[in-house]
């Protein structure tokens, strides 16, 4: 039996190789070889790396009509030839956590190799409106979840900007409000939201029961819950750090069956990052669909009005001095913290120790996701630098990750997270014939992040060519003007 399989698999591989070399024949008259076709674009002589098949070899990639049509060791003809000799040809990176969703942010993402940027953690309240604003106008692919946070803000008339600062953060919802919140989330899912965003750290008055209801609604529509877990003081007798918030998320997933994705575990995991990664592994081994993500920085960024920054006025001076106000670059004092808290805006603050960040980035469980947002060039360097930093620092300099594993965390794993609900992702995150031609071509010997806390807009280096649906958006490291090939990453619309 085993022998038969082996021979049969060998024959299959041989047949596949013959097809690749001689092309596909559909009737004698239309028999064409891959190398006789002229493709829209050919990426020639690059080191093609595909985390799904394990392919890691020099190949030519033929692209037409926005899709990969051939992957061949023979020379391919094309209207446009990209010389990728000495460069890695990888699936375009899929960022599951990108808040900034405009031209400025998409340009920074493209320079970092990202071809699909998704707002899944906070999400949006009006799915149709959000996708409508971007259709035909985006440099890279885009998508969003329906967010419990913005929906709760709308229902409870919260005055906050991106995140709640009023009732949505601080008041329990009435039964009538809960009903409205759940029906708005369901409407978003029916209109093709990719997932459900949840952030009890920002809606701290939302009860455990409300969170379970949100998960229950997500489960009904096979949508994953992307959660920023609850922070704050642990329950008496519980482990330190954010552990109760972590348990709440795992429990809600176990109770309802909703797929769970814990965002930026390297920061919200606090001192428990390594333990929580181990618990995710254990939960997965019991059949729970739990995944997680991380970004490679020791500082985080959030709204200064976030609920978890309430009641901090008696912290020591060093607490405020550790915070950065990106709009001016200044370190805070008690006075400026309290003043800016009234005004509102984003703040950069320490999130975790380097050893915990490293453990999260190097874990085979985590996807890479940036949590990025730039506002007129101000913000956190993670927006522009996350992917190049992992490839340059963790893969090349530290050798803490092998290149294929790092690419898998940036491409295949995020595509697989979404593809059950949104089948468009079955053709993303892969270099495969028939897949969308979202491709990142980079120099593994030089790729590195350049964005800093002082200048977060400095683009990454070493990302040479980026194609979105077969259209180059970055050539020789330079942005191409006037192209908008980005498409909606959206789940099927059911109603
Ligand atoms: Zn977050």
Does the structure show a pLDDT above 50 at 26?
Answer: no
For 53-62, what is the mean pLDDT? 98
Going across the sheet that includes 346-350, the strands are: 299-303, 346-350, 324-325, 330-331
Contact 248, 212 (CB under 8 A): no
Average pLDDT of every residue of the chain = 92
Q: How confident is the model at residue 161 (pLDDT cuts 50, 70, 90)?
A: confident
Looking at per-residue pLDDT, the higher value among 195 and 306 belongs to: 195
372 Cα–ligand 1 center, Å: 10
Dump pLDDT digits (tens) for 252-280.
999 999 999 999 999 999 889 999 999 99
Does the structure show a pLDDT above 50 at 6?
Answer: no
141 Cα–ligand 1 center, Å: 21
Q: What integer pLDDT is reported at residue 102 of this predicted model?
A: 98
Tokens 């601080």 belong to which residue?
Answer: 170
68 Cα–ligand 1 center, Å: 35
3 Cα–ligand 1 center, Å: 52
127 Cα–ligand 1 center, Å: 20
Q: What integer pLDDT is reported at residue 32 of this predicted model?
A: 65
Dump pLDDT digits (tens) for 187-221.
999 999 999 999 999 999 999 999 999 999 999 99
Q: Select from 229, 237, 180, 184 the least CA-distant residue to 208.
A: 229
What is the share, in percent, of the chain residues with pLDDT greater than 70? 92
Contact 216, 227 (CB under 8 A): no
99 Cα–ligand 1 center, Å: 10
Please give the model's pTM, rounded to 2 decimal places. 0.91
Q: What integer pLDDT is reported at residue 232 of this predicted model?
A: 62
Q: What integer pLDDT is reported at residue 241 of this predicted model?
A: 60
For 424-445, what is the mean pLDDT? 98
94 Cα–ligand 1 center, Å: 17
Q: What integer pLDDT is reported at residue 233 of this predicted model?
A: 54
300 Cα–ligand 1 center, Å: 9
For 84-109, what is the mean pLDDT? 98
Does the structure show a pLDDT above 90 at 306?
Answer: no
Give me 467's structure tokens.
């194609």
Q: How confident is the model at residue 284 (pLDDT cuts 50, 70, 90)?
A: very high
371 Cα–ligand 1 center, Å: 7
Give me 7's structure tokens.
């021979």
3-state secondary structure the chain: CHHHHHHHHHHHHHHHHHHHHHCCCCCHHHCCCHHHCEEEEEEEEEEEECCCCCCEEEEEEEEECCEEEEEECCCCEEEEEEECCCCEEEECEEECEECCCCHHHHHHHHHCCEEEEEEEEEEECCHHHHHHHHCCCCCCEEEEEEEHHHHHHHHCCCCCCCCCCCHHHHCCCCHHHHHHHHHHHHHHHHCCCCCEEECCCCCCCCCHHHHHHHHHHHHHCCCCEEECCCCCCCCCCCCCCCHHHHHHHHHHHHHHCCCEEECCHHHHCHHHHHHHHHHHHHHHHCCCCEEEEECCCCEEEEECCCHHHCCCCCCCHHHHHCCEECCCCEECCHHHHHHHHHHCCEEEEECCCHHHHHHHHHCCCEEECCCECEECCEECCHHHHHHHHHHHHHHHHCCCCCHHHHHHHHCHHHHHHHCCCCHHHHHCCCCCCCCECCEEEECCCCCECCCCCCCCCCCCECEEEEEECCEEEEECCEECCCCCCCCECCCCCCC
């Amino acid at each position: 039996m085993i022998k038969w399989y082996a021979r049969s698999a060998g024959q299959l591989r041989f047949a596949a190789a013959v097809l690749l070399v001689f092309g596909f024949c559909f009737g004698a008259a239309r028999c064409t070889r891959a190398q006789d076709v002229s493709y829209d674009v050919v990426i020639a002589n690059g080191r093609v790396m595909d985390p799904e098949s394990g392919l890691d070899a020099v190949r030519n990639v033929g692209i037409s009509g926005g899709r990969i049509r051939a992957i061949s060791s023979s020379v391919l003809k094309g209207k446009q030839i990209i010389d990728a000799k000495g460069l890695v040809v990888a699936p375009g990176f899929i960022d599951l956590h990108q808040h900034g969703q405009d031209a400025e942010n998409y340009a920074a993402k493209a320079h970092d190799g990202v071809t699909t940027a998704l707002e899944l953690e906070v999400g949006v309240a009006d799915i149709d409106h959000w996708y409508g604003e971007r259709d035909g106008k985006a440099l890279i692919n885009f998508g969003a979840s329906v967010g419990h946070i913005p929906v709760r803000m709308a229902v409870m008339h919260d005055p906050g900007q991106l995140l709640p600062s009023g009732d949505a953060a601080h008041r329990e919802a009435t039964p009538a409000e809960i009903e409205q919140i759940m029906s708005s989330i369901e409407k978003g899912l029916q209109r093709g939201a990719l997932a459900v965003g949840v952030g009890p750290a920002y809606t701290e008055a939302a009860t455990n029961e409300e969170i379970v209801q949100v998960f229950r609604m997500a489960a009904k529509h096979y949508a994953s819950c992307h959660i920023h877990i609850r922070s704050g003081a642990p329950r008496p007798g519980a482990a330190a750090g954010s552990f109760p918030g972590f348990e709440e998320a795992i429990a809600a997933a176990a109770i309802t069956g909703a797929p769970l994705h814990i965002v930026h575990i390297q920061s919200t995991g606090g001192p428990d990052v390594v333990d929580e990664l181990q618990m995710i592994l254990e939960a997965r081994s019991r059949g729970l669909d739990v995944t997680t993500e991380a970004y490679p920085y020791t500082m985080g960024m959030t709204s200064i009005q976030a609920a978890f920054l309430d009641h901090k006025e008696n912290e020591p001076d060093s607490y405020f001095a550790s915070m950065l106000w990106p709009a001016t670059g200044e370190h805070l004092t008690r006075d400026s913290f309290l003043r800016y808290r009234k005004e509102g805006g984003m703040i950069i603050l320490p999130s975790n120790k380097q050893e915990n960040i490293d453990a999260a980035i190097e874990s085979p469980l985590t996807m890479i996701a940036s949590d990025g947002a730039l506002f007129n060039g101000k913000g956190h360097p993670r927006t522009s630098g996350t992917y190049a930093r992992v490839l340059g620092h963790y893969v090349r300099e530290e050798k803490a990750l092998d290149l294929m594993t790092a690419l898998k965390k940036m491409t295949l794993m995020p595509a697989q997270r979404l593809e059950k609900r949104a089948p468009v992702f079955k053709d993303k995150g892969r270099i495969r014939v028939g897949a969308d031609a979202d491709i990142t071509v980079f120099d593994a010997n030089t790729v590195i992040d350049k964005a800093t806390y002082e200048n977060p807009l400095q683009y990454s280096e070493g990302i040479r060519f980026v194609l979105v649906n077969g259209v180059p958006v970055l050539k020789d490291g330079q942005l191409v003007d006037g192209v908008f090939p980005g498409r909606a990453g959206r789940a099927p619309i059911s109603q």
